[in-house]
Amino acid sequence: MQFYYKEAIKEGWKVRELRRQIKSALFQRLALSTDKAGVLALANEGHQVLTPQDIIRDPYVLEFTGLPIKKRYKESDLETALKANMEQFLLELGRGFAFIGRQYIMQIGSRRFKVDMVFYHCILKCYVLIDLKRAEIKHGDIGQMNLYLNYFKTEICQPDDNPPIGIVLGTKKDELLMEYALQDNANQLFAAKYQLYLPKREELQAQLDKLLEMENLS
């Protein structure tokens, strides 16, 4: 609970916001993306945003959208639901995000492209581009986001901005496929899952315990 106590003070969470973060197992979700030393630092110091990796949560929990879990929905439905619940989405994204816009248009050569959502991260001083996928993330989605990031670096970012970050969000991802798709990429590009229901904290804790056990054995 020390983690939540520190985060509540830093973020100014109200009781309702604090309860949601506890219920959504925020600590376990963040801890799964770091190493053993990082887990201990997270527990003792709270969440420190120092690098692009620090803003990634896997999975992201979007239960506030109200979308059905098993029924089909369009990517535009998810995007609209996130825009309508922006305050809660920003809470899920974490500290430092400012919303810029949705369906951001990029004219590249003779073609027009649109990235689903664009944010600016006030701590890392960079743009954050998010593309939403209704199903599994494919390697082509990574290539497309890479195109967007190169455009932003050249056409949008100012001299005092840091390189942009790209996040592709889908309901599933093949870890090995993503490892190869993201390997040796010059951009800050991440693939992460989202889910439309609150995770079971026990299952996330079991994953975390298994990860720490593997690190102890290595």
**Cis before 68? omega within 30:** no
| pLDDT given at position 70 | 66
Q: Percentage of residues in the chain with pLDDT exceeding 70? A: 98
Task: Write out pLDDT tens, residues 112-130.
Answer: 999 999 999 999 999 999 9
What integer is the mean pLDDT of 63-78?
A: 85
Q: Is 215 a residue whose pLDDT tops 90?
A: no
| pLDDT given at position 122 | 97
| pLDDT given at position 207 | 85
Cα Dmax for the chain: 54
Task: Please give the Cα distance from 110 to 122 (Å, whole number).
Answer: 33
User: What is the sign, positive or negative, of the torsion defined by CA atoms of 173, 38, 62, 77?
Assistant: negative
Task: Write out pLDDT tens, residues 28-62.
Answer: 998 888 877 888 888 888 888 999 999 999 899 99
Task: Please give the Cα distance from 161 to 159 (Å, whole number).
Answer: 6
Kindly give the residue spans of alpha helices, DSSP state H, lying in the chain: 2-11, 15-23, 26-31, 36-45, 75-84, 86-93, 139-151, 175-182, 201-217
| pLDDT given at position 38 | 83
Element containing residue 124 per DSSP (H, E): none
Task: Please give the Cα distance from 97 to 89 (Å, whole number).
Answer: 10
Rg (CA), the chain: 17
Q: Is 170 a residue whose pLDDT tops 90?
A: yes
Task: Please give the Cα distance from 20 to 8 (Å, whole number).
Answer: 12
Question: Which phi and psi (to 5°) does residue 157 adopt?
Answer: -65, 140
Strands 126-132 and 165-170 turn out to be parallel
- Average pLDDT of the chain is 91
**DSSP 8-state class, residue 136:** B
Contact 187, 149 (CB under 8 A): yes
Q: Is 218 a residue whose pLDDT tops 80?
A: no
